[in-house]
Structure 1
Amino acid sequence: MTTSGHAFVRPRAGGNILVPTGSRRGALAGVSLLTRSRTPAVTAQWLLFGAVAVAGPRVIPGTRVGGEPPGGAALWQALSSRVGPFDGLALYERPQGSRTGVAAVLLHRGRPAGFLKVRDEPDTLDREVRALSAFPGGQAAGFRVPKVLDRDETHGSHWMLIEAMPPRPARPLRGTVLAVLVAQIQRRLAVVVPRPPGTPDHWLPMHGDLTVWNLRRCGAGLPWLIDWEDARWAPPGADRVYYEATHTAVFGRPPASRELTGPAEAVLFWTRQVERRPAADRDAPFNARLRAALRAMCPAA
């Protein structure tokens, strides 16, 4: 892979996405990285996707940027010889300034060859590898997860390569039966996620980032459940509480328009987690809405 002279556009509607402009297929893969949840935003993404399919990347509104991908030329040159052939990137930068790392759809002749996550430390990637090992072949009852293709360290950076989702806009899954989904997550993860010493006996495994933007339908077939880096043990109800609170923060209402409630221990667990997030992060306004949703779930927590 050539590690210099890359051309990207940073869409106005997605400040943490860099869409490659070298090919129409690559640009479509980049536009698909935009994570939209509200219906008008998903519709706008599909309109942009269709415009790029017809007229190419020049129609994407945003800032044109160029140069080397994050991490430097040496890292990407080494990765190109390690993970297999790729000739382009669609980049995803984490919106939280407190969470370092970058991710990219690796492109080969404009088509996705895998989704690469690069981190400074190994812990979150090791956690995700363990969690995904609970789903052989990437399959579960009612949903699918990305298959792990490779995991290693290169030039001091830790990385994992997983299966890429289809290069088309995805939408949140409607009508999710959380109880069934969470029960399966707990059962599968209990086998592969170690229980840390001192963990309360009644705590259960959780996905750790169960949200409307991580549980998505992308074309035909089963929906995808992605981003397992935070899989760990937590109070009962933690995944459900976080899903419902983030849903409220995004849409202004809980799922299925029912009363927003949650077990006090799980609500307090997430309240403390969210309060530790830096106020300077790009998603600070969302975190403020999330704290309000958590308070509404259990005011005494």
Structure 2
Amino acid sequence: MKFGALFLDPAGLPQTFARVLLAGEVPRLAPRVGGGTRTGIRWPMRLAGFSHDGLAVELSTATPAGLHVPVHLGLRAVMELCADIDDAFGVPERPADVPAGWTPMHGDLAHWNLRRYRTGGTHLLDWEGSDWAPPHADLVRFIMTAPNGPQLAGGLPKSLCPDLEEAALFWSDRGAKAVEGVVPAWVERKHAAQAASLSELLAAR
């Protein structure tokens, strides 16, 4: 579970967003740049992260004020966004518990976290799932949760499909073992079923 608070500047515009996680820790990874060069999509930047009295607190820059709507991307745009995300993390130090070959990920790359603001372009939100994962984990996450996921998967280069299967199994295993936490367990189990379906689709191509 989580909740947030938005702090406004003297003019009443969003300035800082505080996210409090009631379970879990402050993500150990955060983007080091505030936007992508390929897509022009931007995202909040972490200002501080700390734990207090059993709560994980993260302060970040705020997104623009005003109305916003979800954004649905095509396969090429999603792949370009994944490349932007890779660049955003730079080359962080790899912890000892991270398997060789794993790379940083956003952790919840989905259409509901992509928002087009009336006054501020498109932003990618909710980076609290950022962590290390098999390569292409963000791409698989987007495809398995997209309303047109099977169509997106059908457009993937066949040469890439074997590499994506590890990421699909990662999400399937993670969802199957989920317990109540930041995301309800039933949601994670639903995503596990989606990942398993995607894995079957990839294996068949």
Q: Same fold (TM over 0.5)?
A: yes
2:45 aligned partner = 147
1:271 aligned partner = 172
Give SS of 1:229's match. Answer: coil
Seen in structure 2, the aligned counterparts of structure 1 residues 148 and 203 have a Cα distance that, compared at 3 Å, is closer
1:162 aligned partner = 60
Seen in structure 2, the aligned counterparts of structure 1 residues 104 and 285 have a Cα distance that, compared at 3 Å, is same
User: Do structure 1's residue 124 and structure 2's residue 37 form an aligned pair?
Assistant: no
Which residue identity does 2:16 align to in structure 1? G
Aligned residues of 2:43 and 2:123 also touching (Cα < 8 A):
yes
Larger Rg computed on CA atoms: 1
1:188 aligned partner = 88
C-alpha distance in structure 1 between counterparts of 2:195 and 2:66, whole Å: 33
Seen in structure 2, the aligned counterparts of structure 1 residues 238 and 221 have a Cα distance that, compared at 3 Å, is same
Which residue identity does 1:270 align to in structure 2? W
Seen in structure 2, the aligned counterparts of structure 1 residues 180 and 118 have a Cα distance that, compared at 3 Å, is same
User: Do structure 1's residue 103 and structure 2's residue 1 form an aligned pair?
Assistant: no
1:1-301 residue pairs with structure 2 within 5 A?
94=1, 101-107=2-8, 111-119=13-21, 123-125=25-27, 127=28, 130-132=29-31, 134-135=32-33, 138-141=34-37, 142-152=40-50, 157-176=55-74, 177-192=77-92, 194-247=93-146, 251=147, 253-254=148-149, 259=154, 263-278=164-179, 283=184, 286-299=187-200
Structure 1 stretches of at least 4 aligned residues deviating more than 6 Å after TM superposition: 279-282
Seen in structure 2, the aligned counterparts of structure 1 residues 296 and 145 have a Cα distance that, compared at 3 Å, is same
Structure 1: unaligned runs, 5 residues or longer: 1-93, 95-100
Give SS of 2:14's match. Answer: strand
Aligned residues of 2:22 and 2:55 also touching (Cα < 8 A):
yes
Report how far residue 156 of structure 1 moved: 6.1
Give SS of 1:131's match. Answer: coil
Aligned residues of 1:205 and 1:232 also touching (Cα < 8 A):
yes
Aligned residues of 1:254 and 1:260 also touching (Cα < 8 A):
no
Q: Deviations over 1:10-45 (max 9, x none)?
A: xxxxxxxxxxxxxxxxxxxxxxxxxxxxxxxxxxxx
C-alpha distance in structure 2 between counterparts of 1:154 and 1:281, whole Å: 17
C-alpha distance in structure 1 between counterparts of 2:83 and 2:69, whole Å: 23
Q: Could you state the TM-score of these two structures normalised by the residue count of structure 1?
A: 0.53
Which residue identity does 1:179 align to in structure 2? M
Structure 2: unaligned runs, 5 residues or longer: none
Report how far residue 123 of structure 1 moved: 3.3
Bigger relative contact order, structure 1 or 2, given CA contacts below 8 A and separation 6+? 2
Task: Give the number of aligned pairs.
Answer: 190
Q: Could you state the TM-score of these two structures normalised by the residue count of structure 2?
A: 0.73
C-alpha distance in structure 1 between counterparts of 2:56 and 2:189, whole Å: 32
Say what the alpha-carbon RMSD is for the aligned residues.
Answer: 3.3
